[in-house]
Amino acid sequence: MYDLIIIGAGPAGLSAALYASRAGASVLVLDGGAPGGKLNLTAEIENYPGFIKKGPELAYAMFEHCLSFGAKYEYGHVTSIKVDENQKIVCVDEKEYSTKYVFIATGTKERKMGIPLEEEMTGRGVSYCAVCDGPFFKNKDVCVIGGGNSAIEEATYLSDIANKVHVIVRRDVLRADQYLIDKMNKKENIELHVLKKPHSIEVVDQKVSGLIVEDSLSGELSTIETQGIFPFIGLDPMTDFVKDLGIVDEFGYIYVDNNMESNVKGIFAGGDVIAKSLRQVVTATNDGAIAGQYIASLLK
């Protein structure tokens, strides 16, 4: 039996692993993707104190650091957690692991636009990761959907690769931080389209050729010629596998107390997957550190 199983190897999970294993706990980290979580999809990390570099570099450094204190890592998709008095059983595909404590750090997944052909054209012009797929659009025209930090940051990143970047915003206000908006405004090849919503996708020869947008006020449709569509319209928590435990709020985020413990004793959570106001690398590492240290203290 492990002392602690961590589900999700992003900054929250890796920080919990570091703190708990350094304090002597036996720790297993499980993830269905590459260690580092969303750091791997982030070009520049500009607001993690003392570190201004590429996301994947920070992901790799955090992973190496957490393994150096003895935490183990395995690839796998967790399907459910069973709770009994003395242990928790973490079910992963066909395997089961038993543990005293669980820390859930599964983060969030990208919200879909829900327009015709979005799913069919994913990987053929529609992409949710500018860092991964941006280079396919060198000197082409792309659309970025959304006015939050993700959309504005990724539009700025894509403007260095693409010929032109259209930013499609459904209201006439951007949610993004002013610093990111100022940075975007310096780019001459970014055009902002406010009060426009994505309506449907035009396809020629199995490739995206245009985005039809709807005017938010008049409902009028118009077409923007584009080869790439990058929706960054928000995120949803990855908590389907714990929906029977009664630990999530109406939006699917996990409620935790000051020690990052949910209302099921022994099940902790942290990072983007919990109900909180600021989702950042620095707040995720904070959550992981608090949980890791507290769980280690319970083992003594």
Task: Tell me which residues touch ligand NDP (CB under 6 A).
Answer: 47, 113, 145-151, 153, 170-171, 175, 197-198, 232-235, 279-280
Which residue shows structure tokens 């055009």? 191
- Sheet of 196-204, strand order: 196-204, 207-215, 221-225
The distance in angstroms from the start CA to the end CA of the chain is 16
Q: Which residues are catalytic, by number?
A: 129, 132-133
CB of 39 to ligand NDP, least distance (A): 11
Looking at beta carbons only, is 47 or 79 nearer to ligand NDP?
47
Looking at beta carbons only, is 110 or 202 nearer to ligand NDP?
110
Rounded (to 5) percent helix, strand, coil in the chain? 30, 35, 40
- What residue is closest to ligand NDP based on CB? 148
Looking at beta carbons only, is 102 or 208 nearer to ligand NDP?
208
CB of 186 to ligand NDP, least distance (A): 17
CB of 167 to ligand NDP, least distance (A): 10
Q: Are 1 and 273 in contact (CB under 8 A)?
A: no
d(CA 133, CA 127): 7
Question: 3-state class of 293 per DSSP?
Answer: helix
Which residue shows structure tokens 């002597």? 24
Mutual angle of helices 281-298 and 11-22, in 10-degree steps: 30
Looking at beta carbons only, is 114 or 123 nearer to ligand NDP?
114
Looking at beta carbons only, is 161 or 235 nearer to ligand NDP?
235
Task: Give the number of C-alpha atoms closer than 13 A to the C-alpha of residue 175, restricted to the C-beta side.
Answer: 14
Question: 3-state class of 91 per DSSP?
Answer: strand
Which residue shows structure tokens 């994913």? 122
d(CA 233, CA 216): 16
Looking at beta carbons only, is 198 or 292 nearer to ligand NDP?
198
d(CA 14, CA 10): 6
CB of 136 to ligand NDP, least distance (A): 21
CB of 114 to ligand NDP, least distance (A): 7
d(CA 152, CA 139): 19
Question: 3-state class of 206 per DSSP?
Answer: coil
CB of 292 to ligand NDP, least distance (A): 23
H-helix segments, 189-257: none
d(CA 293, CA 23): 7
